[in-house]
Structure 1
Amino acid sequence: MDGKKVLFVGLGFYNYDSAIKATLDEMGYDTVYATSLVDLGVTGKLFKKLCLGAINRRRADNRVWQNILASRTDNDIIFVIKGENLTRRHLEYLKQKNPKARFVLYLWDNLDKIHNRDILLPYFDKISSFDPSDCLCHKDFFFRPLFYQKKGSGSASYKYDISFIGEDRPGRYRFLKKVASLLPSDKNVYFRLKSSVLRTVIDKITGHRLCNNLKLPYDEFCQVTDSSKAVLDIVEENQSGLTMRTIEALAMGKHLYTTNREIQNAPHISPSSFTVLDVDKPVLELGKEGGQDAGFYEYYSLRHCLSDILE
């Protein structure tokens, strides 16, 4: 892109930021990176439990401020993903130090979950979102689904008949128990719901063994997904966008069982590669095949995604 200077403010999730920066560099951008993710450590968790959120917010604000102060100025593009920890002070400074820059925001979450949205949105020249419902409500938003990184091994053999890996969200544990109770006992299943220590202990005592309080590393997530015949997806409340795990499962050729009805309208996804489940009365017929055509892999590639967002 003729060496245009990009300040990329990422969200620090798994290895996605490094993959995005590397792809921007491959596309010809001159990219520097800053993160808006703040790890406040043990003291941050303690303050949160003690309802001292204001202290955490001040600490987060100062750490992000130091990241921004250390970043390059006079960029051509300020590219922000989510930006939930950016304040008016941060954004005003970026505007002041990058007066000719085009400000581009990509919402990697549904808008209701971004607490600073009223401050954030007015600063950006272009806003794209992975959530089609948000794009319908905000006519100035551009719809752009997420991307995949890995295609999988292509092996016909598999270890698990179905797997699920995800964060504990309202309704997920109940639905996961319901699905587990429907599966035949001879099926090999890998269900891992990242939850609190308390819920994990109770879950084990009651014999369900669906929860784990430790986050699964990205490479292990990919390994489990690649070793699965099918993948279960449980959409969050008030969200219609396809998650990264969903797209990566499809890219690995897995059949997807999902509660997200919006997948039926998603571009370039083979209708035979997914089954939409009823939240109240799910019916799982395991053994179905996955697989996508070349159009899927082109459209959902990281390069194509970034091109759409930054164009």
Structure 2
Amino acid sequence: MTRPIHPDSGAFRPEAVTANPAKGFQFMPTHDEIKPLIEKALDSLLAHSVGCPGALLEAMRYSVLAPGKRTRPTLALLAAKAVATRLGLRAPAFDPIHAACAVEMVHVYSLVHDDLPAMDDDDMRRGQPTCHKKYGEAMAILAGDALLTLAFETLARHYPGPLAGHCCLELARAAGPSGMVGGQVADLAAEGRINDAEAPTTLEGLESLHRRKTGQLIVASLRMGALAGSGKPDQPETLACLADLTKFGESLGLAFQIIDDLLDVSGSLEKTGKMVGKDAARGKLTYPGLLGEQESRGRANRLSHEAVSLMKAWNGAGDALIDMAQRLLDRET
């Protein structure tokens, strides 16, 4: 069971990535400073998977440790620090790295399964062959299954009961039938690949799809980080923070997906690390397909502005999240 963070412990500490620890333990708000912490923690968690068959562990490590943006775990860490600061705490009440890693495991599981021939049938992911191309479909399915369950084990093993329960519920809702998996069903239905009377055909339907498939895991990343940062899930101040972060994440999640759709139109394999142009070839419902590139970019800007406005009301505590929102809007990968 994880203890509250002690300044001298080896656990994740905000001051490890700060320019000036004397000024409020602020995060350096870029992936470059935070990514190594996340990747080291992921590597350690996978290395301690006792009893895991070697071939399975190799496929899990191949997928998880492939070069990635680490957007969701970064949001979890930034939210933990932002909430701790807003509540007047010196540091997050509990180490948020476990929540961050759990979110990334679920995200990677979803990528491994989405890339399968029965789903999106992709050959490249994060600049390397997809898991099923490297290890075969059976092992890719099992690696995804293992990462999904390891995520919940990580939360249960490293957090005290109430916090673990809250985080597990957040993650299950975001990843399950009313969240990410349900969004994937809608995505396949929109392509005409499965029969579903509710297949989206309009902008409203597209946004509902992406709130589930993309947005809910982004929201869960923020909320799980916030829960670790506060350490008191049911106190009114924490609930107020969670409400703001939910709205922030919903707007940010849609903006993120619009940029993703635009990159599939104008990006390249070299920059994105995955095949581009496949959405149009498949007949996927996308923002550029419905609105055009210019209106899609404008919509992403408006959504990002909505998200930023929420964090500005936090009087500096949310500045790293504001910076992150802008970076996601300006990304080329």
Greater RCO between the two (CA within 8 Å, min separation 6)? 2
Question: Does the pair score TM above 0.5?
Answer: no
Structure with more strand by fraction: 1
The structure with more radius of gyration:
1
